[in-house]
Amino acid sequence: MELISSNKTFGGHLNKYRHASSVVACEMTFSVFLPAQADVGVRLPVLYWLAGLTGNEDTFVQKAGALRVAADLGLIIVAPDTSPRGSEVPDSAPEEWAWGQSAGFYVNATEKPWSDHYNMYDYVVNELPGLIDRHFPTSGRCGISGHSMGGHGALVCALRNPQKYLSISAFEPICNPARTPWGIQAFSGYLGADRQSWLSWDASELLASCQSNLSILVEFGGADEYLDEELKPCTLLGAISNSRCELEIRVRQGYDHSHYFIASFIEDHLRYHYKKLVSSTL
């Protein structure tokens, strides 16, 4: 790993790294917040945060106001980029901003040329955690969360790996991408024309069939302009009746899709994650 930058904040350090990824076949960057407890060798739980459309490894750590609380709790935060990048990586047309570079949708692409690089699911679930656990004082306990496209990614990663993540939450996730404009555009490119194959990357479909006792917290803004067409929280409510999971959905009236909403309630989520990460049985 190459250290790109390091800033001391709230007694800890916010570091940005670059590394060569074999999974996405290009260089990737990610941010890590290490609380002060990490400096004295204490092994700490990790929260993986997945950013939304057009985001990157800086978006959450700079905009969400999460680091003060993470420092207080002793919680490592890892924020990867949202897609592979570089001149060798294929991209969508500029007007198709909801997929391509900065919008990897946290799936493993099956269609050429995307499948050579767009394997963000394997990167987030396997390669990146392996790197984090080798280089930082982690306790082996991790949770996952994210916003919008990243909320979709967090739910999909957790529902496909129910034993891996001890805490799960999402802000304004795309709940049913197989049936929404953003999702249809991205899935058509990454996964091809067979819509049945899309369902294994759809949070509502995965929730409906999940037979693990997962506890999931999901938060929406009541004034979110994307709520009905792109996010579709009603599909999660419909799916939970067939699942063994426990789902808590909160709707905050007057809040929109921005990071102002996340910043208003991120402390609730971090404390929710920390409680589960330190008390759950592996």
Catalytic residue list: 148, 224, 257
Q: Phi then psi for 5, rounded to 5 degrees?
A: -155, 160
> How far apart, in whole angstroms, are the C-alpha atoms of residue 69 and residue 268?
10
72 neighbors 36 (Cβ within 8 angstroms): no
What's the burial of 280, exposed, middle or buried (CB within 10 Å: 0-12/13-18/19+)? middle
Counting beta carbons within 10 angstroms of the beta carbon of residue 246, is it exposed (0 to 12), middle (13 to 18) or buried (19 or more)?
exposed
Q: What are phi and psi of 200, to 5 degrees?
A: -75, 0
Structure tokens of 48? 């993986």
The CA-to-CA distance between both ends of the chain, in Å, stands at 29
The strand order across the sheet containing 246-252 reads 2-9, 12-21, 26-34, 76-80, 44-50, 138-146, 167-171, 215-221, 246-252
